[in-house]
Chains A and B, each alone.
Chain A
Amino acid sequence: MQKSGIRHVSANRQSENSRWTACIARIRDDADEAAFADLFAHFAPRIKGYLIKSGASATLAEECAQDVMATLWQKAHQFDPSRASPATWIFTIARNRRIDALRKSRRPQPEEIDWTPEAPPDQADVLALEQASEDLTRAIAALPVKQKTLIEAAYFHDLSHSEIADQTGLPLGTIKSRIRLALDRLRHAMN
């Protein structure tokens, strides 16, 4: 009973990931405003919540959340579902915006490497990454409260705890190797 319940939740969340991936593709391909409205309704309030938790005022958080979503619209072509889930990609945009706004510091970025419309990522890689992201999300949800609080402190409150990465025991190996494989394919396609 319990087990099938977990599977049910997992299947739901996975299809949610695919749904957001499809929305971003529709923005990229067709400038689809309905798809954007869906993404906005789901993610903008969460981005705003994240920024408030990080110390932004409600006004600043509102403004930044709008900026983040506007960036999503403009950079939809850069989203690579074989290397990041939609939530992860949106997190990176929000994190960069937070550093600009709260720290008043520039955020140097690694050089982008993008797929071309002619050579999109392999669908099997996209599904495998989705699965790995799902597993990681579940592992984070299952962490003891103390460890989860530590991770949230690092990601939301600008605290540096160099030991956190070693202590959480999160299963990062699979997701690292999935992303590495996707990168290898991308490099190969670019040559």
Chain B
Amino acid sequence: MTQTIQHHLTDALLMAYSAGTLPEAFNLTIAAHITMCDTCRAHLGAFDSIGGALLAGQDSAPMAKGSLQACLAAAKAGRPALAAPQCRSVLPAPLLSYIGGDLQDVKWRPVGMGIRQAILPTDGRATARLLYIPAGSAVPDHGHRGMEMTLVLQGAFADDTARFAKGDIEIADEDLDHTPVADIGADCICLAATDAPLRFRGLIPRIAQPFLRI
């Protein structure tokens, strides 16, 4: 799967994920993409190495007396970490705990024009949602006030810039206005994260927007 991925995370986003400065919704989307994409997993490793080098050169703060013994006791008392079972879902593993199950457990809500969404619980600094776009349907033309990250989990969509298939991630910012259209072949499921409301061009989506939290 990984060879077919065409659209990747930027170095700036990988560095911010590595440093730990992003909102949870972006972290979730990035973790899901990296689960599907070994190229970005390797690039993340390089940015983690920066953190490792900084930690290695870090000034020491002396630990309290007896902390080694306390730590060892806690480590041995803790349950030994079991190897996580390999994920068999069509969804990348990091998403499953946010859904509280698998794809069939997603609580979809209609947002009009056949499109459905499910907002996932993350910290308030950004919003993560699953989007279900029926084959051949379009998401209304919209722009962005902040950053929108869209990861394709099933099917594919295309907008003015490119076509995005399973595993591809589109990073949209304030400069991009687009009308994503799902491929005709299959319903498209995406994970989208935004840190500011979208800007819809059409009147109807604009009126509906506050109610849908898009």
Contact = CB atoms under 8 A, between A and B. Distances in A.
Nearest to B80: A74
Contacts of A15: none
Nearest to A186: B38
Contact of B78 (A33, A74, A83): A74
Contacts, number: 218
A108 B52 CA distance: 20
A9 to B, nearest CB: 13
Contacts of A141: 53, 57
B83 to A, nearest CB: 6
Contact of A179 (B46, B55, B67): B46
Given A40-B68, A110-B35, A177-B42, A156 B54 contact: yes
B50 to A, nearest CB: 7
Interface string B20-61: 111110011001101100110111111111111111111111
Contact of A84 (B20, B21, B52, B68): B52
B197 to A, nearest CB: 20
A59 to B, nearest CB: 9
Interface in A95-124: 95-96, 98-99, 103-112, 114
Given A36-B72, A140-B50, A158-B21, A94 B45 contact: no
Interface-central residue, B28, B44, B53, by most chain A CB under 10 Å: B53
Top 5 nearest A-B pairs by Cβ distance?
A88-B52, A45-B60, A73-B75, A180-B42, A70-B75
Interface of B: 10-16, 18-24, 27-28, 31-32, 34-35, 38-39, 41-64, 67-68, 70-72, 74-76, 78-81, 83-84, 87, 92-94, 98, 122-123
8 contacts: A44-B68, A88-B51, A154-B19, A155-B18, A164-B12, A170-B50, A180-B38, A183-B41
